[in-house]
């Protein structure tokens, strides 16, 4: 991913840049609010790490201005402990998440992953994720080594998974959406269908994986792009 860092404390900015580069992200770093806004408006970033206390325009003003201009780059705000009000204002202004300094690097990476997680959307008649494509007209699932037609409920499950990839979908949401709210369907029916879909994914050489989350539901894992 391409990430913009807007943080005036050089040491912190450099440390963030090093960490993110290590994790194979591309980084641009700027050190004041106005530059942050100008860079972000290019629209080329997958995410932006935005400090609140900045010289010139502060982070909240930058964020307000970006959102006002229709820029929806996911924003992770950095706040000091004493800036609780700013944090709330930031979320109200359209920040996707915030992190209080000092923070653990693992947490920063996790939050960045979370705010940039977006399921795949239909392009024309197909959903695409990893090496796999799902056609909404023919219900055909295609992968590296072949394709297979999904039965109606299998298709609906796969569509939900692909549109919410890398997020945990609780079993009850599958039941509500596919079988209906007042359905008598038991949770284990989901397990049965998931196992059908898994077999088909394997059969077509897909690089997608349906992960079971204990006692909760399922998430579709795709290779990082
Ligand atoms: Ca600062």
CATH of the domain at 81: 3.40.50.2300
Nearest Cα residue to 188 out of 202, 174, 169: 174
CA of 55 from ligand 1 middle (Å) equals 8
Domains contained in the chain, number? 2
With a pLDDT cut of 70, the percent of the chain lying above it is 96
Give residue 167's pLDDT: 78
**d(CA 104, ligand 1 centre) in Å:** 18
Average pLDDT, the chain: 89
Q: Do 152 and 211 share a domain, yes or no?
A: yes
Cα 38 to ligand 1 centre (Å): 18
Give me the torsion for CA of 98, 100, 101, 103, rounded to 10°.
Answer: -90
CA–centroid distance, 36 to ligand 1, in Å, is 13
Which of 116-120, 200-204, 217-221 is the least confident region?
A: 116-120
One domain for residues 108 and 136: no
pTM of structure = 0.57
Separation of CA 99 and ligand 1 centre (Å): 13
Same domain assignment for residues 105 and 151: no
Same domain, 155 and 103: no
Among 117, 146, 180, the domain boundary falls at 117
133 and 113 part of one domain: no
CA of 86 to the centre of ligand 1 (A): 13
Same domain, 89 and 154: no
Picking from 49-63, 175-189, 210-224, which range would have the lowest pLDDT averaged per residue?
Answer: 175-189
**Judgement on whether residues 87 and 143 belong to the same structural domain of the protein:** no
Tell me: do 20 and 63 sit in the same domain.
yes
| Gap from CA of 8 to ligand 1 centroid (Å) | 5
Which residues lie across from 132 on neighbouring strands? 129
| Centroid of ligand 1 to alpha carbon of 53 (angstroms) | 4
Label residues 67-103 b or e (16+ Cβ within 10 Å = b): eeeebebbbbbbbeeebeebbebbeebebbebbeeee
Q: In terms of Cα–Cα distance, which of 111, 152, 146 is closest to 131?
A: 146
- The number of C-alpha atoms within 13 Å of 40 and in the hemisphere containing its C-beta is 31
* Dihedral in degrees, nearest 10, Cα atoms 64, 69, 75, 81: -10
Q: Tell me: do 7 and 86 sit in the same domain.
A: yes
Q: How far is the CA of 54 from the centre of ligand 1 (A)?
A: 5
Mean pLDDT (whole number) for 80-104: 83
Q: Tokens standing for 114?
A: 């979370």
Last residue of a domain, one of 117, 137, 166: 117
Which domain range does residue 201 map to?
Answer: 126-221
44 and 97 housed in the same domain: yes
- Same-domain pairing of 100 and 156: no
């Amino acid at each position: 991913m391409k990430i913009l860092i807007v943080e005036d404390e050089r040491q912190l900015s450099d440390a963030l840049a090093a960490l993110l580069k290590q994790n194979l992200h591309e980084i641009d770093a700027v050190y004041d609010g106005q530059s942050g806004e100008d860079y972000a408006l290019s629209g080329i970033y997958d995410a932006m790490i935005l400090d609140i206390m900045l010289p010139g325009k502060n982070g909240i003003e930058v964020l307000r201005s970006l959102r006002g201009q229709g820029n929806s780059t996911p924003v992770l705000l950095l706040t000091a402990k004493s800036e609780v009000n700013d944090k709330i204002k930031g979320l109200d202004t359209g920040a996707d998440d915030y992190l209080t300094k000092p923070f653990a690097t693992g947490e920063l990476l996790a939050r960045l992953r979370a705010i940039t997680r977006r399921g795949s959307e239909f392009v024309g008649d197909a959903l695409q994720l990893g090496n796999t494509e799902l056609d909404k007209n023919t219900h055909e699932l295609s992968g590296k080594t072949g394709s297979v037609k999904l039965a109606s409920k299998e298709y609906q499950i796969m569509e939900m998974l692909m549109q919410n990839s890398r997020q945990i979908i609780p079993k009850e949401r599958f039941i509500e959406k596919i079988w209906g709210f007042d359905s008598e369907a038991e949770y284990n029916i989901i397990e049965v269908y998931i196992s059908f879909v898994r077999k088909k994914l394997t059969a077509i050489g897909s690089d997608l994986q349906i992960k079971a989350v204990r006692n909760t539901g399922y998430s579709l894992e795709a290779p990082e792009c």
